[in-house]
């Protein structure tokens, strides 16, 4: 569990459940990961998630100062939005390296949110645009490397696909340092590139987190 990372709970029957507990009350979310076994040395798993962002969007919708979303009768109210995602994961372990390929699709049944309700900023826009289009897809590669007993590195490259939009690219690099068996500090960056309503833009954001782990 981390300050910004989700709470992950591994179960004995090859199941893993995760959620972001800090924002759960205003943005209910849950993710389930199932390991199916190995095929020729490649681990096969699937991941399913549910997200209900309506209350969070209503919270940031207001008139005047600090209103992130417009509260205008011409735009309309924010409806109930239910996001479902499914992904297939394939993992190959190579000594200290772990390489994972992923392919997924997200749907938002009945979603036709006015585009003026979508925040046209990096990171936010490609994730909120599904509220308008109702469907999205993603593919990518994750690489994990155990440099030593105390240091591990995680990097990924991901492509986000939306109807009538150019492809969005995201890349993350995160270095984890184990302060102890239970406590970890992480630092790195997130790079994004996409064609937003105002034009193409490349951005980089710093990442830092503190997490802890435990065993039953």
186-201, pLDDT tens digit by residue?
999 999 999 998 889 9
Mean pLDDT along residues 71-80 = 78
pLDDT at 80 over 70: yes
Element (H, E) at 184: strand 183-196
As a whole number of Å, the CA-based R_g of the chain is: 19
Per-residue confidence at 10, pLDDT binned at 50, 70, 90? confident
The reported pLDDT for the residue numbered 195 is 93
Mean pLDDT along residues 134-156 = 95
Mean pLDDT along residues 75-100 = 91
Mean pLDDT along residues 64-81 = 75
Could you give all domains of the chain from N- to C-terminal order, each with its CATH number? 7-212 (2.40.160)
Q: For 21-59, give one letter per residue: b (16+ CB within 10 A) or e.
A: eeeeeebbbebebebeeeeeeebebebebebebbebbee
Q: What share of the chain is helix, strand, coil (3-state, %, to 5)?
A: 10, 55, 35
The reported pLDDT for the residue numbered 66 is 62
pTM above 0.95, yes or no: no
Winning range, highest mean pLDDT, from 3-12, 85-94, 114-123: 85-94
Structure tokens at 36: 């199916």
Greatest Cα pair distance, the chain, in angstroms, is: 59
Per-residue confidence at 3, pLDDT binned at 50, 70, 90? low
pLDDT at 216 over 60: no
Distance CA 170, CA 192 (A): 4
pLDDT at 70 over 80: no
pLDDT at 82 over 90: yes
What is the 8-class DSSP label of residue 61?
B
């Amino acid at each position: 569990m981390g300050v910004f990372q989700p709470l992950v709970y591994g179960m004995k029957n090859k199941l893993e459940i995760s959620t972001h507990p800090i924002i759960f009350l205003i943005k209910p979310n849950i993710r389930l990961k199932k390991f199916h076994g190995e095929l020729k040395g490649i681990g096969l798993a699937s991941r399913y998630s549910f997200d209900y962002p309506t209350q969070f969007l209503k919270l940031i919708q207001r008139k005047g100062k600090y209103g992130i979303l417009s509260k205008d009768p011409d735009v309309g109210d924010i409806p109930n939005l239910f996001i479902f995602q499914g992904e297939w994961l394939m993992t190959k372990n190579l000594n200290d390296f772990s390489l994972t390929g992923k392919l997924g699709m997200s749907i938002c049944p009945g979603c036709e949110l006015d585009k003026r309700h979508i925040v046209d900023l990096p990171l936010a826009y490609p994730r909120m645009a599904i509220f308008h289009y109702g469907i999205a897809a993603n593919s990518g590669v994750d690489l994990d490397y155990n440099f030593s007993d105390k240091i591990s590195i995680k990097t990924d490259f991901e492509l986000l696909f939306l109807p009538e939009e150019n492809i969005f690219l995201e890349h993350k690099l995160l270095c984890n340092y184990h302060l102890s068996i239970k406590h970890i500090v992480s630092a790195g960056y997130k790079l994004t590139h996409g064609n937003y309503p105002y034009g193409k833009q490349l951005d980089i954001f710093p990442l830092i987190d503190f997490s802890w782990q435990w065993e039953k």
